[in-house]
């Protein structure tokens, strides 16, 4: 089976051309676990199948490294755009991609005839607790979860919850660099308040237009970047009055720019997409 390794700010996935490679649905989770393994496989934060679609230009079928299906990946969808343009599957620089029934619209920016960066209309953030989903506290059904206390491993944190098609809990901290994320991340992910588990962003606000973030991704662990996590982070910053409407998010793997007007409008994400190498893997 042919594949392409790609990354956006170090958030790396194995991309499989579903137009040419045919893997049964029941075999995909096990294949993803094998190919994502960084010691015995190719290595990545998961795998993404690029498929034909009847409702958009392309379908993104995304899996976490543990083989679980994921709804959306901001870094992943930018790489999908680069893949389909650079490989000649489209000649358009404005395309649509559907993932788990949600269509995103992408603008491709070229350098030397290849896609360099991609701007994605990520849609409006989902803020109602039950829709994210997060279990609301008694008496707060149907409300937003903004700057709300949560106890994890005996310590109280403040979280703001957002869905960008997948659930996020954004936690503001004073020190991101020395955070023991590998210890606390799994407990946030599997906390009883998150019925579908959650991605958790630990964020330090540097100024009104810059934040620093580390992320624990559901089903994968810490990654070098998370595009939907950046969108959720900036949404949370604006909801808490901490930043302006356009923010640069500094990640372990690079920087992503996020813009949101603070209303019911869409969140826009702009960032790089990079091809690492092509290869073949025994399916």
C-alpha span between 188 and 222 (Å, rounded): 12
Cis? peptide before 70, omega within 30° of 0: no
Q: Which two tokens stand for residue 215?
A: 């992320």
Q: Which two tokens stand for residue 221?
A: 């662990």
Exactly one of 9, 73, 79, 230 is catalytic; which is it? 73
Q: Is 9 a catalytic residue?
A: no
Exactly one of 9, 79, 161, 226 is catalytic; which is it? 226
DSSP conformation class of 136: P
DSSP states along 158-226: EEEEEESSSEEEEEE-S-STT--HHHHHHHHHT-TT-TT--EEEEEEEEETTEEEEEEEETTTEEES--
Q: Is 226 a catalytic residue?
A: yes
State the helix-helix crossing angle for 227-239 and 74-86, rounded to 10 degrees. Answer: 130
C-alpha span between 149 and 207 (Å, rounded): 24
Q: Show the DSSP H helices in the chain as ranges.
A: 28-36, 74-86, 181-189, 227-239
First to last CA, the chain: 6
Q: Which two tokens stand for residue 128?
A: 């109602």
CA dist 227 to 121, 137, 194, 251, 257, Å? Answer: 12, 28, 20, 10, 10
Torsion angle, CA of 216/218/224/228, rounded to 10 degrees? -100
Instruction: Give the burial class of 156: count Cβ atoms within 10 A of its Cβ; 0-12 exposed, 13-18 middle, 19 or more buried.
Output: exposed
Show which residues are catalytic: 73, 226
């Amino acid at each position: 089976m042919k594949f392409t390794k790609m990354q956006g700010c170090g958030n790396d996935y194995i991309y499989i051309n579903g137009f040419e490679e045919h893997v049964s649905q029941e075999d995909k989770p096990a294949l993803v676990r094998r190919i994502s393994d960084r010691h015995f496989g190719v290595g990545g934060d998961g795998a993404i199948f690029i498929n034909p679609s009847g409702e958009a230009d392309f379908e993104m079928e995304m899996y976490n490294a543990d083989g679980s299906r994921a709804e959306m990946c901001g870094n992943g969808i930018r790489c999908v755009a680069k893949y389909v343009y650079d490989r000649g599957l489209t000649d358009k620089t404005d395309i649509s991609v559907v993932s788990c029934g949600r269509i995103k619209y992408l603008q491709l920016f070229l350098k030397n005839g290849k896609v360099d960066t991609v701007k994605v209309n990520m849609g409006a953030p989902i803020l109602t607790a039950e829709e994210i989903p997060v279990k609301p506290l008694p008496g707060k059904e149907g409300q937003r979860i903004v700057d709300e206390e949560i106890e994890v491993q005996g310590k109280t944190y403040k979280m703001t919850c957002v869905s960008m098609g997948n659930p996020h809990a954004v936690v503001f901290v004073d020190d991101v660099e020395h955070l023991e994320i590998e210890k606390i991340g799994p407990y946030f992910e599997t906390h009883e308040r998150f019925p579908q588990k959650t991605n958790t962003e630990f964020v330090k606000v540097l100024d009104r237009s810059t934040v620093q973030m580390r992320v624990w991704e559901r089903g994968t662990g810490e990654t070098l970047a998370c595009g939907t996590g950046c969108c959720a982070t900036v949404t949370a910053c604006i909801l808490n009055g901490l930043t302006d409407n356009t923010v640069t998010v500094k990640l372990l793997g690079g920087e992503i720019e996020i813009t949101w007007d603070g209303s019911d409008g869409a969140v826009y994400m702009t960032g790089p997409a990079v091809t690492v190498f092509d290869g073949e893997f025994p399916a």
